[in-house]
Amino acid sequence: MDNVTTDQAAIRPIDAPSAVVRRSPATALSARGEPFMWALGAALTIGIVMVIGFLLFVFWNGLVTFIPKPVAVVTLRSGAMVAGEPTRPELYRLSPDAIKALPPAEAAKVAVNGGYGHRTLYRIGNYDLYNEDFRWVSDHDVDKIDYPEEMVFIERLEWGVFVGRIRSVKIGDRDLANPTPKDPALVAAHKEARARWQTIRRIERDLIGRVNHDLEVLRLDVRRAEIKHGPASTQAEKARLAEAAQIPSLKSEYDRLTGEAVRLNSIAQLNTVTLADVTGKEKVLPLSSLVRFYPANNLSFFDKVSIYLSRWGEFLSAEPREANTEGGVLPAIFGTVAMTLLMVLVVAPMGVITALYLREYAKQGRLVSIVRISVNNLAGVPSIVYGVFGLGFFAYGIGAHIDDLFFPERLPAPTFGTGGILWSALTLALLTVPVVIVATEEALSAVPRSMREGSLACGASKWQTIKNIVLPRAMPGIMTGIILAMARGAGEVAPLMLVGVVKLAPTLPFDGYFPFVHLERSFMHLGFHIYDVGFQSRNSEAGKPMVFVTTCLLIAVITFLNLAAIVIRSRLKRQFAGNQF
């Protein structure tokens, strides 16, 4: 197609001027190539619509997830009742058998729609009662839809949400019958129960965890002494004595803490709430297992905002629960940030030194240009390849040797010989080092030769020139490269799946136990969180809102980094603009 037009186009304007002096619209028509320009423009439009549409879609979904929605009570034609948050409507094709079963009026409607019918997905919750979280309700099955004021939406620690009514609350020996969710006594009791739950959790995790940690350290000391000096040696004997001396006090501490936890738990058991679903099925729960509850159909604007903000607060500051589909993503945020910073610590010097070598020190020639092309191309090598390398070389290679040398007492459980945050950071550093090298090299080459020569002519040494003249000039470019590397590293998931990211990390890589930084530990990551919740959880529909919010967060982080790169680049550029010799 193109050939034809080009032929015509190439000839006509040359022939034309002799005949017509003013540009003739007649010849211009095909030469203007309007249809083709429109096709090109359409491609660009589609591209832009794709980007903007995608971002809007993700951010919209992410931002509306935490808005409390009303709870509908749907009465079906069959008399059954369904209560839940309507999540999304859908047009679907009915099977011929289903159409046959419909009343004639509805069947006619479906026929008009070309065999399609409408249905709505309700988040019905109550997984412990129904064994499903979501249910499709076809419009033609619906008799009526109500929004009763007393319907309560409850987020629980276990089994997902509960949708229903509060029948009664037992606070110690006091009973409240049919309380509203805003009943001050209920709110106060709930607050107290949650505080108690936090205390129990702190005892069980932090305090008992410390005792367990101390016991483990003692055991490892003994084992290390046995391995190093032999089981019958004096050192081993000493370690055993030390262990024996400390165990009784640790044991009693442990018993004391468990006793305290048991005591608090028994108090918690006295405060219960009886819930009933829309059909009247009852469920008794400890008050402390309710995370949040609100009358979904009776909320003021202020209530909605406060629930929305409190959900965001929980999301950003709490740990995940319910197989990551609810709760927060704090460990994942922490893991992502820690890993990315660790990566930058490695990648920045590596990249800058290499670029300096290539640009300032190496003799420019064929070899260096080949190396340069190769480094450039490494940016295009799939990230999963780096992951494979990281697993084989860092974790199974170097890590296994470190274990043999320094942690023989923990074998066969690997310490460094398996995936961890250090190996992840190193792997991603390798992955992103070409980005930094290329950016730095470009920045270095943009420093005018005259400035270098001026510095050298003044008698500065090579390193002085680089340090004082070249590097400051190149800083914008270098910073841009590093930030782009961070953005790339923060968004990578595939290699991390091989070298240390996990679904749920029991401990963070930094904590209060000596040596405080545990680079061998596996960690959680926002990107992997998305993959895990979207694909590995029991119900991907239940995890979807969470994934959207996490996605929103991840994109926000990465976009922020990219924008920072752009801003820094332009600001530093301006600083040096017109500042050349």
Partner 1 sequence: MTDDGVQGHPSAIGSGEPTAAPRRPPRTTRRSVLFVDAVANWTITIGGLGVILAVFGIMIFLTAVVWPLFSGGHAVTQSQAKLEGAASDVLTELVDEYHTIVVSVERNGEVAINHLATGRLIKSRKFEIGKRKIASFARTLNGENVAIGFDDGTLRLGRIKIETTILKTSAVPAGLNELGRDDRTDGDAVYSVIDDDQVRRIAVSVDLDEPQQIAPEGVALVALDYRLGGAVERPTRSFVSIDANGAVRLSRLETKRSLLGGTRAQTTLNSIDLPSLPKGTEVASILMTSLADQLYVVEDAGNVFRYDTRDPQKPILAERTQLTPDGVGVTALGFLAGEQSIVVGGADGSVNVFFRLQRPGADTADGFALVKTHELERQPDAIVALAASPRSKSFITADANGNVWVRHATTDQTLLKLAAPGGAVTAVAIAPREDGVVAIGKNEAVWNWRIEMPHPETTFSSIFGKVWYEGYPEPGYTWQSSSATDTFEPKLSLVPLVFGTIKAAFYSLLFAIPIALCAAIYTSEFVGPGVRNIIKPTMEMMASLPSVVLGFIAALVLAPIVESWIAAIVLAVVVLPLSVFLGAYLWQFVPQNIALRVGGGSKMLFIGAVLVVGVILALNLAPWFESALFGGDFKAWANGDVGSSRPFMALLTWPVSFAILLFADARGFLPFMPGGGSSRQRDNALVDLGRWLAFLAGSLGLAWLLATALLTLGIDARGAVVNTYVQRNTFVVGFAMGFAVIPIMYTIAEDALTAVPEHLRAASLACGATPWQTAISIIVPTALSGIFAAVMVGLGRAVGETMIVVMAAGNTPVIDWNIFSGLRALSANIAVELPEAVKDGSLYRMLFLAALALFVMTFVINTLAEMVRLKFRKRAAQL
Of 481-500, binders to partner 1 (CB under 8 A) are 487-488, 490-494, 497-498
In this chain, which of 72, 479, 547, 549 binds partner 1, going by CB under 8 A? 547
- Piece of the chain touching partner 1 by CB under 8 A; list 54-62, 131-139, 195-203, 302-310: 54-62
Query: Which residue shows structure tokens 């400390």?
Result: 246
What's 116's DSSP letter? E
- Binding string, 462-481, against partner 1, x = CB under 8 A? xxx-xxx-------------
Of 333, 358, 443, 524, the one binding partner 1 (CB under 8 A) is 358
Report if residue 6 touches partner 1, rule: CB under 8 A.
Answer: yes
- Based on the shown chain and the rule CB under 8 A, indicate whether residue 47 belongs to the binding site for partner 1: yes
Compute the distance between CA of residue 439 and CA of residue 485 in angstroms, rounded to an integer: 10
Does 408 bind partner 1 (CB under 8 A)? Our answer is no
Asked whether position 573 contacts partner 1 by CB under 8 A, the answer is no
**Residue 40 binds to partner 1 (criterion: CB under 8 A):** yes
Q: Least distance to partner 1 from the beta carbon of 324, Å?
A: 14
- Could you say whether residue 546 binds partner 1 (CB under 8 A)? no
Binds partner 1 by CB under 8 A, chosen from 371, 446, 471, 564: 371
Binder of partner 1 out of 17, 89, 103, 280 (CB under 8 A): 17
Question: Measuring CA to CA, how many Å separate 187 from each of 191, 265, 307, 315?
Answer: 6, 20, 14, 22
Nearer to partner 1, 174 or 538 (CB): 538
Residue 92 or 254 with smaller CB distance to partner 1: 92
| CB of 546 closer than 8 Å to CB of 66 | no
| 56 binds partner 1 per the rule CB under 8 A | no
Q: Is 382 in the site for partner 1 (CB under 8 A)?
A: yes
Q: Please report how close the Cβ of residue 418 comes to partner 1 at its closest, in angstroms.
A: 10
Minimum CB distance to partner 1, residue 543 (Å): 9
Q: How far is the CB of 256 from partner 1 (least distance, A)?
A: 40
Q: How far apart are CA 175 and CA 31, in angstroms?
A: 87
Residue 53 contacts partner 1 per CB under 8 A: no
Q: Are 553 and 329 in contact (CB under 8 A)?
A: yes
Q: How far apart are CA 457 and CA 565, in angstroms?
A: 34
d(CA 226, CA 133): 54
Q: Which residue has the tokens 């990578």?
A: 492
Q: What DSSP designation does 410 have? A: G
Which of 79/459 has CB closer to partner 1?
A: 459
Between strands 134-138 and 116-123, the pairing is antiparallel
Cα–Cα distance for residue pair 169/38, rounded to 1 Å:
68
d(CA 190, CA 183): 11
Task: Evaluate whether 162 touches 84 at the Cβ level (below 8 Å).
Answer: no
Q: Could you list the beta-strand ranges (E) of 268-328.
A: 272-276, 282-286, 290-295, 320-321, 326-327
Integer Cα distance of 303 and 438 in angstroms: 52
Instruction: Name the segment binding partner 1 (CB under 8 A); options: 18-26, 126-134, 278-286, 295-303.
Output: 18-26
Q: Is 560 in the site for partner 1 (CB under 8 A)?
A: no
* Binding pattern for the stretch 244-273 against partner 1, x by CB under 8 A and - elsewhere: ------------------------------
Output the smallest distance, CB 464 to partner 1, in A.
5
Binding to partner 1 in span 211-250, by CB under 8 A: none
The residue whose two tokens read 């209530």 is: 303
Among 34, 175, 216, 453, the residue binding partner 1 under the rule CB under 8 A is 34
In whole angstroms, what is the distance from residue 440 CA to residue 483 CA? 12
- Of 3, 70, 505, 106, the C-alpha closest to 303 is 70
**Taking the complex as a whole, how short is the minimal distance between the CB of residue 343 and partner 1, in angstroms?**
15
Distances (CA, A) of 324 to 60, 327, 547: 21, 7, 10
The single-letter DSSP state of residue 510 is B
Binding mask 153-192 for partner 1 (x = CB under 8 A): ----------------------------------------
Q: Which residues pair with 116 in a beta bridge?
A: 93
Q: Is 145 helix (H, G, I), strand (E, B) or coil?
A: strand
| 433 is a site residue for partner 1 (CB under 8 A) | yes
Site for partner 1 in 435-464 (CB under 8 A): 437, 458-464
Q: How many residues bind partner 1 (CB under 8 A)?
A: 127
Dump the DSSP string for 338-404: HHHHHHHHHHHHHHHHHHHIIIIISPPSHHHHHHHHHHHHHTTS-HHHHHHHIIIIIIIIIIHHHHH
193 is a site residue for partner 1 (CB under 8 A):
no
Measured between alpha carbons, how far is 562 from 567 in angstroms, rounded to an integer? 9
Residues in the chain: 581
Min separation Cβ 319 and partner 1, Å? 21
Closest to partner 1 by CB, 45 vs 364, is 45
User: Taking CB under 8 A as the criterion, which residues in 87-126 touch partner 1?
Assistant: 90-93, 114-116
Q: Which of 422, 554, 569, 572 binds partner 1 (CB under 8 A)?
A: 554
49's CB contacts (< 8 A; 6+ apart) are: none
Residues from 328 through 357 that contact partner 1 (CB under 8 A)? 349-351, 353-357
| Whether the Cβ atoms of residue 382 and residue 493 lie closer than 8 Å to each other | no
Minimum Å distance from CB 138 to partner 1?
15
Q: Is 567 in the site for partner 1 (CB under 8 A)?
A: no
Nearer to partner 1, 76 or 456 (CB): 456
Region near partner 1 per CB under 8 A, out of 122-130, 184-192, 254-262, 426-434: 426-434
501-530: which residues touch partner 1 (CB under 8 A)?
Answer: 527-528, 530
